[in-house]
Amino acid sequence: MSEKLSETGRKTMLAPLLEAGWTLDDKRDAICRTFEFENFIAAFGWMTKVAIYAEKWNHHPEWRNVYKTVEVVLTTHDVEGLSALDVKLARKMEQLAA
């Protein structure tokens, strides 16, 4: 089972993601980002790649796809907030989107 990020972990692990365009959700302990791609096929292809990691790590994003944009929210429901799994998946999303 995951553990909620400590204050130190939040500062060190979230800082690079916030610099990359992620934001803190103001309604709950989660991070959000909207990815924009060239077209629907590119967006859906990226989601498919992310889905493979999400399934492998048993950590699934909340996301919404409209044409070439994908809105993502990451949080760990088991700990009612952010965990290292959210950071890990966000980093992978960044890598796959590059």
> What structural domains does the chain harbor?
7-97 (3.30.1360.20)
Both tokens of residue 92? 């992978």
Beta strand segments in 3-90, E: 23-24, 31-36, 62-66, 69-74
Instruction: State pLDDT tens for residues 13-70.
Output: 999 999 999 999 999 999 999 999 999 999 999 999 999 999 999 999 999 999 999 9
| Three-state DSSP state, 44 | helix
Angle at the Cα of 47 (from 3 to 87), degrees rounded to 5? Answer: 25
What's the mean pLDDT in 4-11?
Answer: 94
pLDDT of residue 4: 95
Predicted pLDDT of residue 69: 98
